[in-house]
Amino acid sequence: MNASCNRALTLPRLTLAFLIILAVYLFRDSWIPADSPYSIHAPVPQPDVQQSDTTAEKTSDSVKKPQDDDCRSMPGADNVLILLKTGATEIYEKLPTHFMTLFKCAPHYMIFSDLAQDYADFPIRDAIAPVSKQFREQHEDFTLYRKLQQYQREGQDTSKLKGGEGWNLDKWKFLPLLFEAFESAPPNIDWFFMMEADTSVSWTNLLQWLNTMDASDPIYAGSQNVIGGTEFAHGGSGVLLSRQAAKQLQETREQEGKEKYNKRWEETTSSSCCGDEVLARALLEADVPMKPAWPLIQGETVATVDFTKNHWCTPAITWHHVTPLEIDALWQFQADWTEDHGWDTPYLFRDIFDHFIDSHITFNRHAWNNLSQDRKLVARSIASDDDIDISRLSQLEQKAVESESGCEAACARDLHRKCVQWMFSPGRCYLGQVVRFGKTDEREGESWISGWNSQRVAKHKAQLGTCKKVDWKDGES
């Protein structure tokens, strides 16, 4: 009896359970949250301007996440569009570091190359594509471009094409990428900052510098260079354009007609060496002259820059020809700096010296070139016509080319007491009057021993002062 009752009750129960499961499945979209990791989403179209993720979960306390969300919410951060110019042959080597550093803080950025592709889910734009078909298919500067297209179609590794031909393509990117950026930029963008893949940018110092200027003024600023009478902002050091400068350049183009304007400047570019110089000419035509911003914007590395009064009390915004390792080191320094000093105090070249250099120049370094070059003493047996005839110099200076200790003594006993560092290689003793760190040369053909005069370096620092006033150059202090 009991067994038959249990069997009778089992069928309704199974039916009810089946109906419940079916209902849950059919109406699942009504109770699964829209942002559930288990729900299925259609691909999201990429915006014209990439935006950094401001909703990322914070890491645990045991993992250091430099700067957290502060860097994205700094005053003025939402008004800057970063334009990174790179090349397809170097993209996988140099781009990852920027995603882990600057792009985590910049709310708006665009990446331009010489090949349209996706880097993970980030769109890389082809800055060459707007150039007329005539040049792209026939001009010798575009040999690499055509090869890149082939490699992409065949699924080959574009880094294998790395070489000098990338330089020929680079000059064609400047104007096209800027016009695309101007047209794509949200209305809240006041500043356009163009950089390269081997450029390091201080986010806190950049934003504080921009706060000293007015984007309604036609500003085109950077590290000044001159070619053939044209003063221009060096592209690798970083180029700043205000919204007003962009507007005037666009208006000049539209007044002439885009097609006619583009053709004229393509002809100019074809006979010019450098795209940053061509850009300066185009801006000057639009009544936007270059505003010198060196050394705020500059092209040296921490190892090669000369720490003098020209730099000491100036905020360090950019470095050029830096490796991914150096970009990361500078970014970590910024993270520590902002944690200790906040986001409204810029760090200066003085602070870079104290952190990266000072403790590393208290001893002689072997297989090291510290870039001493103010006075070059060379043994007569290997001297060239351009070298000093050391037979006419003092015995102390003649012995300087014979040994490490002799070269060090020549620096220490410098009559004018201007020598702060030296470097020795058999038969050569070079003396320096400015402090530079330099780099290892152990893999180069000629190896040096380098040293610094600690007492004079300390005196040099004392003379440069404590920087009670920040030197923003033409901006406010």
On the question of pLDDT at 26 being above 50, the answer is no
On the question of pLDDT at 19 being above 90, the answer is no
pTM of the complete model = 0.84
Q: Which pLDDT does position 6 carry in this prediction?
A: 46
Distance CA 428, CA 299 (A): 29
Mean pLDDT, residues 308-336 taken together: 97
Mean pLDDT, residues 138-155 taken together: 94
Q: Mean pLDDT in the chain?
A: 87
The candidate with the shortest Cα–Cα distance to 187, out of 102, 111, 123, 246, is 246
> Is the model more confident about 392 or about 354?
354
Which residue pairs from 399-408 have beta carbons closer than 8 angstroms and sit at least 24 positions apart in sequence?
400/424, 400/429, 401/377, 401/427, 401/428, 401/429, 404/364, 404/449, 404/451, 407/377, 407/431, 407/449, 407/451, 408/364, 408/451
Q: pLDDT tens digits, residue range 170-182?
A: 999 999 999 999 9
Mean pLDDT, residues 256-269 taken together: 96
DSSP secondary structure of 180-205? HHHHHS-TT--EEEEEETTEEE-HHH
Mean pLDDT, residues 393-412 taken together: 95
Domains 66-292 and 365-463 are alike in CATH topology: no
Q: Which pLDDT does position 32 carry in this prediction?
A: 32
What is the third-level CATH fold of 66-292?
Answer: Spore Coat Polysaccharide Biosynthesis Protein SpsA; Chain A (3.90.550)
Q: pLDDT tens digits, residue range 306-317?
A: 999 999 999 999
pLDDT bracket for residue 476 (50, 70, 90): very low
Cis check: omega of the bond before 426, within 30 degrees of 0: no
On the question of pLDDT at 49 being above 90, the answer is no
Q: pLDDT tens digits, residue range 427-466?
A: 999 999 999 999 999 777 789 999 999 999 999 999 999 9
Are 375 and 390 in contact by the 8 Å Cβ rule? The answer is no
Mean pLDDT, residues 316-326 taken together: 98
Q: Which pLDDT does position 414 carry in this prediction?
A: 82
Architecture of domain 365-463: 3-Layer(bba) Sandwich (3.50)
Domain boundaries, the chain: 66-292, 365-463
Distance CA 429, CA 407 (A): 6
Mean pLDDT, residues 300-328 taken together: 97
Mean pLDDT, residues 77-95 taken together: 96
